[in-house]
Amino acid sequence: MSIQTLPPYPYLAVAPGRVNMLGEHVDYNDGVVLPAAIDRSVRVAAQPRSDRQVYLTALDLNESASFDLDHLAEKRTLTGKPLPAWARYPAGVAWALQEQGYAVNGVDAVFTSDVPIGAGLSSSAAVEVAFAALWRQLGGWDASAMTLARLSQAAENRYVGVNCGLMDQFASAHGVEGHCLYFDTRSLDWKPVLLPAGTVIIIANSLVKRSLAESAYNERRAACETAVELLKPHLPGIRALRDVSTEDFARLSYLLPEVIARRAQHIVEECARVEEAVDCLNRGDADGFGRLMIAGHASLRDLYEVSCPELDVLVDTAKSLPGCLGARLTGAGFGGCTVNLVEESAAGQFIQSLSDEYTRLTGKQTEVYLCRASRGAFCQAQ
């Protein structure tokens, strides 16, 4: 996907997609994650209106929609038709902002994106955060990046109807160039962590649609909750699996049914991997960080069982290529993307070799994106 030319409207809002470097499936276990905003983004050109109406054009879809800010709960266009799915993200943001008392302007807005849709790179969160940043600029009100992220999440949870965590919107709103973001999903504390010098992030899209992801996601979430209930009598202070140490889990895992134990083991060890990864990055140990990415993939494949053959081919191939420090699936799994940390000097050959080998082994095509960790969302007058 490429960014299309936007009209010369007076305001431009930009919000990046994100990739999760480590800490997969731990956000709904109150855990710590390591996402990075990437230099693929949603861009919104806008001009304010004097009425309470919003006119949207999605250039990439070649579609338009409109709605009234005073009738958002109806989820209908100005002509009375149901709002198309893509328009519910900006409409949901307007709804969430107004519910919290923020003034929202009528606007003409045109947007485009080079964040691939359905690849696990948070294209929807980028749309939400871009519009939140736009309305903050137009309204002249004061709200932190975390406030924009939380209201964008509320839009997706309560208006669009997708039960996502906060990580995607957080990363899009808070990105720091050259850094991943250590984010505690319980306390909302965060800090930027410098990625190794001379490396790039390469994302490989398996182009496998995540058809099983929703039902499997619900099953795994339920398994984690069951594990907590079974461990609580022996660890009375725990509220989520993030509260279980690797030592306590090793001592008590016999109490859990086999499948529940495997799911819980991934979460407990993945939380520990994130903490160890931050130590590696702070020491400049790129090899150590890469090994933790590879271990994370093995855990997602064998314990959490959310990989698929195509993702495994991408990871196994990447590990064998010169310059690859780490590789793993990123996102929910069952398709979507892998993330690779690669020495910049080897990036070109890595991309070519990974693409060729994936096609040879699977008979399928892949899309590979060279990315860098980027700044978070902003809006500016043009």
Is residue 75 one of the residues assigned to a domain?
Answer: yes
Using the CB atoms, write b or e for 141-164: b if 16+ within 10 Å. Answer: eebebebbbbbbbbbbbebbeeeb
Instruction: Please say if the pLDDT value at position 180 is more than 90.
Output: yes
pLDDT of residue 1: 61
Q: What is the C-alpha separation between 299 and 17, in angstroms, rounded?
A: 25
Nearest alpha carbon to residue 246 among 274, 282, 288:
274
Comparing CA positions, the residue from 12, 237, 241, 231 lying closest to residue 133 is 12
- Among residues of the chain, what percentage have pLDDT more than 90? 91
Nearest to 361 by CA among 325, 317, 321, 297: 317
Banded model confidence at residue 213, pLDDT cuts 50, 70, 90 = low
pLDDT of residue 160: 93
What would the mean pLDDT of 58-86 be, rounded to a whole number? 97
Alpha-carbon distance of 93 to 166, in angstroms, equals: 14
Assess whether pLDDT exceeds 70 at residue 212: no
Q: pTM for the complete prediction?
A: 0.94
pLDDT over 70, % of the chain: 98
225 assigned to some structural domain: no
Host domain of residue 22? 11-187+375-381
Residue-level pLDDT at 320: 98
Other Cβ atoms closer than 10 A to 292: 22
The pLDDT score that the predictor gives to residue 163 is 79
In this predicted structure, the answer to whether residue 123 has a pLDDT above a threshold of 90 is no
Domain count, the chain: 1
**94 belongs to a structural domain:** yes
Decide which of 99 and 1 is more confident: 99
Q: Which of the residues 168, 189, 285, 356 is marked catalytic? A: 168
Compute the distance between CA of residue 168 and CA of residue 149 in angstroms, rounded to an integer: 8
Phi, psi of 20 (to 5 degrees): -95, 120
pLDDT(9) > 70: yes
3-state SS class at 287: helix
Active-site residue flag, 168 = yes
Report the pLDDT value the prediction gives residue 237, as an integer from 0 to 100: 94
pLDDT tens sequence across 321-360: 999 999 999 988 999 999 999 999 999 999 999 999 999 9
CATH number for the domain that contains residue 74: 3.30.230.10
181: three-class secondary structure by DSSP? strand
Q: Answer whether 11's CB lies under 8 Å from 382's CB.
A: yes
The mean-pLDDT minimum among 154-168, 199-213, 255-269, 303-317 falls in 199-213
Q: What is the Cα–Cα distance from 66 to 84, expressed in whole angstroms?
A: 10
Q: Classify residue 295: in a domain, yes or no.
A: no
Lowest mean per-residue pLDDT among 16-25, 149-158, 201-210: 201-210
Structure tokens at 55: 């006119």
In a domain, 347, yes or no: no
Question: Model confidence at 147, in pLDDT bands (50, 70, 90)?
Answer: very high
Is pLDDT above 80 for 80? yes
- Please, which residues have CB within 8 angstroms of residue 46's CB and are 6 or more apart in sequence? 9, 10, 11, 12, 13, 107, 108, 109, 110, 134, 138
Identify the band that residue 211 occupies on the pLDDT scale cut at 50, 70 and 90. Answer: low
Does 304 fall in a domain?
A: no
How far, in Å, CA of 105 to CA of 114, rounded? 26
Q: How confident is the model at residue 162 (pLDDT cuts 50, 70, 90)?
A: confident
Structural domain contains residue 288: no
pLDDT mean over 251-259: 98
Asked if the structure places residue 263 within a domain, the reply is no
Read off the tokens for 80.
């009375």
Residue 371 pLDDT level (bands cut at 50, 70, 90): very high
Round to whole Å and give the CA distance between 333 and 230.
26
Average pLDDT of the chain to the nearest whole number: 95
- What angle is formed at CA 124 by the lines to CA 81 and CA 193, rounded to 5 degrees? 165
CA distance linking residue 201 with residue 21, whole number of Å: 9
Residue 92: pLDDT above 80?
Answer: yes
Give dist(CA 259, CA 118) in Å, integer: 28
Tell me: pLDDT of 5 over 70.
Answer: yes
Angle at which helix 88-99 crosses helix 145-154, to 10 degrees, equals 120
